[in-house]
Structure 1
């Protein structure tokens, strides 16, 4: 057993992968053979990820606020505190806060043998985000 009492400092989400203000806290990255990676991610209103996929899928658990999640080829869906989302392996998607509220979620992924957890792609267009938000005005 190992107890970690000091975790890395919060990091700003890099602009190449996020739109808006996002903060990442690494919660868990145990040594091999574990492949688990867990992050606490805080999105300011309107902030969201770029399109991306995870080789082994991803679990999101919303801790606070409201947000949006969208998989490739489908409409965006509202997510709220208490919701858990399972994203299939290699499923293209994006997620983030609703336009008028913060959103915090835990993100759990598994790394591949070479340490890869995420494959990033293009940013979600401003018009596409606005359309998703308009479809879900309560978000």
Structure 2
């Protein structure tokens, strides 16, 4: 995989790594990229990758690292118990229905209220990864809605 203006690839540890010159490397995210998100690909424009970070189901609070290639975004959707996103690398976009687009970057935390229509993904020029935290997963139902059309996505990238 590559990112704009620099070479990027997956290391053997499955981390996103950038090569700034022939002698140095720096790790961009400490979290694994995971596998291509083929199970939910029909709800995404572009490719995304998911790595589950927690395994104790008794906690009922799964955390996953979700990575979006440039231009990738998910459909409008909502969660009955809400969702928390923590941006870990790159630049992304987030929008709740009826509200202004928000650019998100490393360290930003998005708290999404229950049953609020929203979408998120990478900007057109940047890879983007966030931690996805799903509170009360056993009763937190995700409803997928319509795709974010190209016109709206392009307008969001200009803001």
**Does the TM-score normalized on the shorter chain lie above 0.5?**
yes
Question: What TM-score, normalized by structure 1, do the two folds share?
Answer: 0.82
Q: Gapped runs of 5+ residues in structure 1?
A: 1-8
How far apart, CA to CA, are the structure 2 residues paired with 1:15 and 1:103? 17
Residue 127 of structure 2 corresponds to 102
The alpha-carbon deviation at position 118 of structure 1 amounts to 1.5
What secondary structure does 1:16 align onto? helix
Give the structure with higher Rg (CA): 2
How far apart, CA to CA, are the structure 2 residues paired with 1:38 and 1:117? 16
Say which is worse superposed, 104-113 or 69-78, in terms of deviation: 104-113
Q: Is the 8 A contact 1:55 1:118 kept in 2?
A: yes
The alpha-carbon deviation at position 12 of structure 1 amounts to 2.1
Q: Which runs of 4+ in 1 moved over 3 A?
A: none
Query: Between Structure 1 and Structure 2, how many residues are aligned?
Result: 125
Residue 6 of structure 2 corresponds to none
1:119 and 2:119 correspond: no
The alpha-carbon deviation at position 29 of structure 1 amounts to 4.4
Flag the structure with more relative contact order, 1 or 2, with Cα contacts below 8 A and sequence separation at least 6: 1
Question: What TM-score, normalized by structure 2, do the two folds share?
Answer: 0.73
Residue 81 of structure 1 corresponds to 106
